[in-house]
Amino acid sequence: MEMGYEKKDFGENFVWGTSTSAYQIEGAHNIDGRGPSVWDHFSHQKGKIKNNENGDKACDFYHRYESDISLMASLNVDAFRFSLSWSRIFPEGIGKPNQKGIDFYHQVIDTCLASGIQPWITLYHWDLPLALEERGGWINRDIIYWFSEYVNFCTKTYGDKVKHWMVLNEPLAFTGMGYLRGLHAPGKKGIRQGLSTIHHAVLCQAEGGRIVRRNVPDAQIGTTFSCSYVEPYTRYPRDEQAAQKLDALYNRLFLEPALGQGYPLEDLSFLQKIENYFHPEDEKNMVFDFDFIGLQNYTREIASHSWLAPPLWAKAVPAEKRKVPITTMKWEVYPPGIYHLLKKFSAYDKVKKIYITENGASFEDKVEGEEVLDERRVKFLQSYIGQVLRAKKEGVKVEGYFAWSLLDNFEWENGYRPRFGLIHVDFTTQKRIIKNSGLWYQNFLGQSV
């Protein structure tokens, strides 16, 4: 093949899949007993989302899951990573479960299995039930109890059919963007509440793993991190130090506590006060022996020292200013970054194996009749997957790749303009068209091993 590798180069046990999340695709926000989530509330506030869009309907996956899973099966994937909507299962967050919500995920799981696709479940992908946010959400230490009850129920309900579980999706995103910077739901700002949410997420990350292990003894258990390869803007010591700080924030903050190394306090001085939120046994309870780590990568960051960016005194230099190839999200296209991150994460003794649980790009697609031209995405996938193979050949225990995303979907504060899907969605008619990138993935995965 023109990119210099074939599917067989990855080995017959390498897992190929696609990823989605509940709020981004399901729609059906207020039917069949589903309760509101923080994202329902946040997206309905004027000015929070571009064009004042929301996920009320999204891709209408709730009603179209059978045909969407059939389309996905045509791509020749092995696995489908999707999340459960907490408020679809527990409308009030805790208490009485919603049978129609429970049944929906049974149907999704059964349809996947009947199509020869393994379901990989993410337990939490940012859509906290609004009823729990009204009681403090991730700021309230009771979240550990609430989350434990939810995980216990889900794993007992679906654990006989689902053997791959991820506890949290990108905890830095929902704590940092939701409670520190206020750009995501629930839209709160402040260091104090940000620190408490970080600590509570770390504790839930580990406790969730323990509950899955207890309820599904033969499960493969992971959690996922959004990671960016960080390099200094110059070789001056201040920029080198800035890069070290951003690396600690982006790549180490939630991983190292799970590995038993604690928080990276030496590089993130603003974290010192996180110990105010420690209870006895927390240091031990932050640790869990995950079977795998989900690595999610989209871009590279270049760090420089900044007097104007306390408390880190570091900032990322925008890709636009650096005159490098970018996506419509203004993220740099830098395929070697995923290789460097795989090498970095695999250097931790306690990281047993890694899956790329998200990787993809938003570009402007060109729809011509029944064809969607997206050659930049084709090249993106080819080059990034090639870098995954490079790491694998060098001994990194990377055992799978999930493209983000199966469908164009609701991209959080950016609404529907960014399109990451392998399948194009017309959000007016809900018509689907497999893009050229999806056809490339289909052909690549259709090769015999």
Please, what is the Cα angle at 82 between 364 and 259, to 5 degrees? 105
Q: If we measure between CA atoms, which residue out of 420, 413, 315 comes closest to residue 372?
A: 420
For 158, 264, 277, the CA distances from 272, given in Å and listed in that order, are 40, 10, 11
Sequence-distant contacts of 395-399: CB under 8 A, at least 24 apart:
395/346, 396/342, 396/343, 396/346, 396/354, 397/346, 397/351, 397/352, 397/353, 397/354, 398/342, 398/346, 398/353, 398/354, 398/355, 398/356, 399/13, 399/14, 399/15, 399/292, 399/353, 399/354, 399/355
| 247-277 residues labelled b (16+ CB within 10 A) or e (exposed) | bbbbbbbbbbbbbeeebbeebbeebeebeeb
How many CA atoms lie less than 13 Å away from 102 in the CB half-sphere?
13
- How remote is the C-alpha of 369 from its chain's centroid? 32
Catalytic residue among 170, 256, 399, 411: 170
Catalytic residue among 53, 207, 358, 399: 358
Residue 131's contacts (CB-CB under 8 Å, 6 or more residues apart) are 35, 36, 87, 91, 92, 93
- How remote is the C-alpha of 436 from its chain's centroid? 24
Residue 381: Cβ within 10 Å count:
24
Q: Do 137 and 38 touch, CB atoms closer than 8 A?
A: yes
Question: Is 358 an active-site residue?
Answer: yes
How far is 58 from 410, CA to CA, in rounded Å? 6
Residue-by-residue DSSP string for 136-163: TGGGSTTHHHHHHHHHHHHHHHHTTT--
DSSP class of 209: H
Radius of gyration, CA atoms only, the chain = 21
DSSP class of 235: S
For 16, 230, 344, the CA distances from 299, given in Å and listed in that order, are 21, 9, 15
How far is 101 from 86, CA to CA, in rounded Å? 9
Q: Are strands 79-83 and 398-404 parallel, antiparallel or unpaired?
A: unpaired
Question: Is 66 an active-site residue?
Answer: no
Cα-Cα-Cα-Cα dihedral of 304, 305, 306, 312, to 10°?
100
Which residues have a catalytic role annotated?
Answer: 170, 358
